[in-house]
Amino acid sequence: MNRCPGRWVLWAVAVLVGFPSVKGNETGQLLRSYLKREVNYVSEALKRGESELIVNGFAYHSHSSYSKAQLDRLNSEAWGVGFGRSFTDFDGNRHQVYAVGFADSHNRPEFHVGFNWLHPVLRHKYGLVVEVGFTAFFFLRKDSLLPSDYIPLPGLLPLVTIGGSRTKLNMTWIPRIGERLQGNVLYLCIMQSL
């Protein structure tokens, strides 16, 4: 059986696309159309996309959100590894599916399976590319805020990449959500085309 790390992400998106929109609801129809197109791009990425090695490595915890004692306990070296496949469409937008595992802020294993959409905003004549977009994913981690550990939860974060045609630095910002989810973390990883 051909196992694909993004297959269950495709399944989840396909279920969302399959929900009927409310009659006359243009927003629902636009969302369905967008999701169908993205499912096609994910399929293209999996079938004929470029393979990428993902190396996770750094998480900066904002000093304004954490006490000195908390910062001393938190892990900034979020080492891990993953694999991705990406496809660039006719408009130059990059669509990527990925699966990664890394050490979270408390040095416990965390796992993500997801999708990146990136739009180029700068292409320098020497090959430097800056892209902006988002990452949508499911993550699993040990968490004291949840009733059980390693429950798959959805996430959606902004994403910026800077790099050349084969190597890119990915950056995302994990915001603060309420009092218990302190967030305010800059997360970095490297993507290397294989």
Catalytic residue among 86, 95, 104, 112: 104
Catalytic residue among 61, 86, 95, 143: 61
Catalytic residue among 95, 105, 112, 143: 105
| Coil, helix or strand at residue 53 | strand
DSSP one-letter code for 66: S
**89 carries an active-site annotation:** no
The Cα–Cα gap between 181 and 175 comes to 9
**104 carries an active-site annotation:** yes
Nearest to 123 by CA among 111, 131, 115: 131
Angle at 181 between CA 179 and CA 184, to 5 degrees: 100
Bridge-partner residues for 123, per DSSP? Answer: 129
**61 carries an active-site annotation:** yes
Catalytic residues: 61, 104-105
